[in-house]
Chains A and B, each alone.
Chain A
């Protein structure tokens, strides 16, 4: 973790005072960076952060299963399938990091549902072509991008806010590739994400 990242934790720690503190062994930023740092945070703030992380985890479970549905559909060309599997791998990495972080924060990670449940919620039976699969994936990736950007101000832990930004960057990359594969134009204006 860099000096600038470390510097933000003590100031907030001081602000919070000494009430209702528990030890936070590592934040997700440390997890994703492969490093650990000690910090203390109020249990209420941490609970709110865990809630947000669990919503994010739910998104990642859904994304993994959405790509699984696409991969199993038989609608994807080999080259497209390879990209879909790669993106699914990214979401699995996100999932694993989020689970580890939630557990380290003392929370219980939200469980993955059955593939059939995701299929029903996402109306997978309506997917009739490769373009349909790509369109669904693009919608979910854009939604996830905006969701991650949107929750950044809600995190009490700035390290977790940075993690949300890094996740949003991955989702934006996914959306950009999918959007291009669908032959759609780039956003007409700057600052289109998260707005």
Chain B
């Protein structure tokens, strides 16, 4: 029994230890990054080129009612949290193929800070 479960357990351990932008991000720096990198398309309170980010942390992807998402994002089962946001910001197309965002955030620390800011603005 244990032998059968071990590969799966090991896989989960490896996944849980995989490097990703974690909760240690700095929301103050994240706000500055948001202002410089995300503001072209996004706002916290309003849908623009991209959807509003208020409440994004903990929200199902593609679920802002008055924003026109790609089919890929709308039909995804993803809920935005530390790991899903980190994967998304690292490579949106790899995270959800067929989505429309061409922008990525290659640096781990930048992603962590942005996620910390989005989480703060989501009241989480």
Chain A residues engaging chain B, CB cutoff 8 angstroms: 48, 51-52, 54-55, 58-59, 62, 120-123, 139-140, 142-144, 146-147, 150-151, 153-155, 195
Q: Is A121 a contact of B46 with CB atoms below 8 Å?
A: yes
Range, interface on chain B: 20 to 34
Q: Is A146 a contact of B37 with CB atoms below 8 Å?
A: yes
Q: Is B47 a contact of A48 with CB atoms below 8 Å?
A: no
Known: A48-B93, A142-B36, A146-B40. A121 touches B104 (CB 8 A): no
Known: A48-B93, A55-B41, A120-B46. A154 touches B102 (CB 8 A): yes
Q: Is A121 a contact of B100 with CB atoms below 8 Å?
A: no
Check: B101 CB closer than 8 A to any chain A CB.
yes
Known: A48-B93, A62-B48, A121-B46. A55 touches B36 (CB 8 A): no
Question: Could you say which of A62, A144, A151 contacts B102, with CB atoms under 8 Å apart?
Answer: A151
Q: Is B41 a contact of A59 with CB atoms below 8 Å?
A: yes
B34-71 interface bits toward A, Cβ cutoff 8 Å, 1 = contact, 0 = none: 01111111010011111000000000000000000010
Chain B residues engaging chain A, CB cutoff 8 angstroms: 35-41, 43, 46-50, 70, 93, 99-104
Known: A55-B101, A121-B43, A154-B102. A62 touches B37 (CB 8 A): no
Known: A55-B100, A55-B101, A154-B103. A121 touches B48 (CB 8 A): yes
Known: A121-B48, A139-B35. A59 touches B40 (CB 8 A): yes
Q: Is B103 a contact of A140 with CB atoms below 8 Å?
A: no
Question: Could you say which of B37, B46, B48, B99 contacts A150, with CB atoms under 8 Å apart?
Answer: B37
Q: Is B46 a contact of A143 with CB atoms below 8 Å?
A: no
Residues on A with C-beta less than 8 A from B40 are 59, 140, 143-144, 146-147
20 A-B pairs in the complex with CB atoms less than 8 angstroms apart:
A51-B70, A51-B100, A52-B100, A55-B101, A58-B41, A58-B49, A59-B40, A121-B43, A139-B35, A139-B39, A140-B39, A142-B39, A143-B37, A144-B40, A147-B103, A150-B102, A150-B103, A151-B102, A154-B102, A155-B102
